[in-house]
Amino acid sequence: MRMINNSQIIIRPARIDEIGELQRLNQEAFVDNVKYDPDLVMDWAMSDKGREHFTKIFGSPDSQCFVADDTGVLVGYIVLSERFIDYRKSRCVEINDVGVTPAYQSKGIGSLLIQKAVEWAKEKGYQKMYVSCYFKNTRAISFYRKNGMAEIDLGLERDL
């Protein structure tokens, strides 16, 4: 447990009955991403596909979701899953999503979620952790660097 602005934040595994809350958190945390990707489906998190995305986490031994819980209110989450890269030597886990509700951002909660993810990944025998984010999202890039990550690749896209 960590005190943040008189809040008692606990990082714990998510429960399957919290899928609706995870969808809400995703919707809130990524609302600004449309400025980096105008092709983004803004209601994806609340759709059936969004629900399916979160449901799959609970059925896989190589996936995990942790939440930041402020006395019963979920204020952040992180989703992890194995990333299969046959041409690399190390076992790798990917951060699929990490988000914190806007009112709780920049208070250290994202870093707490990353710390918990690193602990879990080490326990599972992973040697690398991967995350991707939008190239122009300098805030996210800075956050990941602060949490020990470094650039390794660059994705490119074009319209057809």
Residues of the chain falling short of pLDDT 50: none
Q: What is the pLDDT of residues 47-80, one digit of tens each?
A: 899 899 899 998 888 999 999 999 999 999 999 9
CATH number of 2-146: 3.40.630.30
pLDDT score recorded for residue 38: 86
The 3-state secondary structure of 108-156, one letter per residue: CHHHHHHHHHHHHHHHCCCCEEEECCCCCCHHHHHHHHHCCCCCCCCCC
Whole-model pTM: value is 0.91
